[in-house]
Amino acid sequence: MKHNKALLLLLACSFSLYAQKSSDKKIKPRNEFIPELMAKMTIDEKISQLVQYTADGTVTGPKTGINYIEEIKKGNVGSILNATSVKYTRELQELNLKNSRLKIPLLFGYDVIHGYKTIFPITLGEAASWDLKAVELSARVAAEEAAAAGVHWTFAPMVDISRDPRWGRVSEGSGEDTYLGSKMAVARVRGFQGNDLMAANTVLACTKHFAAYGAAEAGRDYNTVDMSERVLRETYLPPFKATVDAGVGTFMTSFNEISGVPATGSKFLLRDVLKGEWGFDGFVVTDYTAINELIPHGFAKDSAHAGELALRAGVDMDMVGGIFMKNLKKLLQEGKVTEAQINDACRRVLEAKYDLGLFHDPYRYNNEKREKEVIYKKEHLDAALDVAKKSMVLLKNDNNVLPLRKEQKVAFVGPLVNDEWNIIGSWAASGDRYGYAVSVQEGVNKIVTDKNKVTFDKGVEIVDARRDMMQAALDNARKADIIVAVMGEFENMSGEAASRTSIDLPGIQKEFLAELKKLNKPIILVLMNGRPLTLNWENENMDAILEAWFPGTMGGDAIAQTLYGMNVPSGKLPMTFPRNVGQVPIYYNHKNTGRPYLGPTDPEQKYKSRYIDVDNSPLFPFGYGLSYTTFSYSNLKLSSKTMSMNGNIKVSVDVANTGNYDAAEVVQLYIQDKVGSVTRPVKELKGFEKIMLKKGEKKTIEFTITPEDLKFYDIDMQFTAEPGDFEVTVGGNSASGLQDKFVLVK
């Protein structure tokens, strides 16, 4: 915790250093400047503000064949995607201003998901930290580096809730839980946008993907979504609403349809809910070519119809597809869209540019000296290491084989043991892989000075079935006291367009583990992956399992320090790990059925909601994670056994560190509404606190429950709390804990 505070203080100082506005020209307040500017604009100039094209940088979607340089020269562009570096963005801005009659600056956007150059753990890994300050710090570092490289706008946070690990994009989100996901989303918005967007080291955040993209059928990317409005509002929309309340500047539409209407053409989502109910006053950008895709969806008959539907639904900016530029003026002339709709969209985009200070100084993000000073700053690398260590989840540790001791002879094996490419994960922005990312081998060599104590062998590849390297690895492992296998996925096996029907360890990695098992040595499995994997065999045969996710630039140091006890793992799972893919979708806060299965001791085994080949329970539940120490929970107390509709209840519990290491624990509060006018989940996360306890130390942790925590959409779709019985559970994961009850009364 002290480390977190020190890093935040250092970064706050650096932020203030670069937040100077002395060079900005004096212009009128936004509420005067923007209307006056728009009064001077032609309809073509207004439409151009609703257009984004991609530069020649990172490929994040299908090629369109549009020449962005020529479009800038014509004044047909409001924003550019995938242009980075001070030099390049300045060149494009100069070209734009030279050709812009009213000198309206370009907005530069880039996917800065979990770091710009200094790469942090993938977002799912960060969520495993359950540390909101650490997550905010990660986004703040990403913002400072991206802004220093000429980037104004990031397409993050992704706040999609997902219960299906087959979907590759679970790596970009915070997992399966609405409460945890909402807290993480707000932390990221605060980190990206800071307290003042006008500061030249903050970036505009973009909440995505609106909405319910994480519920794609069969876990297949871009696929159909269909659900009740109750499920949509209770489970999938709250993280989006939380970012609106936190002041997020932009939203992105999702590729999927909901109830037969593609999200990019959904008036219900964009105008009724987002801009209407929630009062969102930022702007909405589509995902990459999402307006064009209304045609293959079968929702629009041609590009003109697609543009009409999107603008009327509430889209403000067309990402890459060129539909608005090609069609909006003609649609206006034909009376199919209105000038008021175009004006509203244009106003929102211009206001974002104003808020970033681009009208005050279009080159305020173009400081080469700052770019050199900020990228890979030591404080940033320290922060990346800190967050990576907090993201590690210890899934198994039989006989306390971890932590390792320096005097042990350890055979490090596996395709990722000396990897610098995959360790930073997918969507790694401009992160350098070779030469910058720290591999596990490099991290271990910093700790173990006696090189006779460690060996390093790949043994096998991630996917390739070649076996010619296996024997050398087995020979070294045979001479060792203990084996550490570093395995997992390629970075591009998770993320966008990376759905999998099998979520086993790919290739022949499991076969190699089976050969290692025959040596009768303790084996520690270290995993790098972007999703929950099915690890039934591994759990039965490995002595320890450490889930490292893709841990980022400093990942090798974080893993090595964790293996050797310099860091005590404190991460908890933000997603359930299934026993096999047949259990998917699987999540902790499911509903009961009329025939709930009570487990192996249930006297009725046949006619219950269960599988006949595997238990209903997951392999590792949501919120689960071990430590090198042990924690005990005791003395659960409720301040009252009843709560009124305008009252609250204090819940307290004593948590003690009963082991031999100073360590952090995530104390989790769950509530079950026992009876409702519509059925309620078996439990729901409603609070958590990450605490540090020295060995032998005990702390009393207190949560406050209010009627707001008990609200849901009742049988009449009213968001309310109903009187009745509630059960409280407090513990270290979603599957166990101390319990008590209270009654909510009118």
Our answer to whether residue 613 is catalytic in this structure is no
Find how far residue 105's CA is from the centre of its chain.
30
- Return the structure tokens found at 652: 């307290």
Candidates 131, 160, 287, 457; catalytic one = 287
Alpha helices, DSSP H, located in 158-198: 178-193
Task: Look at the block and give the residue holding tokens 């509530």.
Answer: 671
Any idea what DSSP says for residue 213?
Answer: G
Comparing CA positions, the residue from 64, 53, 35, 95 lying closest to residue 285 is: 53
Question: Under a CB-based contact definition with an 8 Å cutoff, are residues 475 and 451 in contact?
Answer: no
Cα(57)–Cα(107) distance, integer angstroms: 15
Cα(490)–Cα(368) distance, integer angstroms: 34
- Return the structure tokens found at 120: 């942090």
Any idea what DSSP says for residue 710?
Answer: G
- Return the structure tokens found at 430: 């401009």
Which amino acid belongs to residue 156? Answer: A
Alpha helices, DSSP H, located in 334-401: 339-355, 368-374, 378-391
Cα(282)–Cα(236) distance, integer angstroms: 20
- DSSP assignments along 388-431, one per residue: HHHH-EEEEEGGG--S--TTS-EEEESTTTT-SSGGG-SS-TT-
**Residue 242, helix vs strand vs coil:** helix
Alpha helices, DSSP H, located in 487-574: 509-517, 536-541, 555-563
Cα(270)–Cα(292) distance, integer angstroms: 18
The answer, yes or no, to whether the previous bond of 403 is cis (omega within 30 of 0) is: yes
* Count of CA atoms in the C-beta half-sphere (13 A) of 277: 12
Task: Look at the block and give the residue holding tokens 């209770």.
Answer: 234
- DSSP assignments along 276-301, one per residue: IIS---SEEE-STTTTGGGTTTTS-S
Active site residues: 287
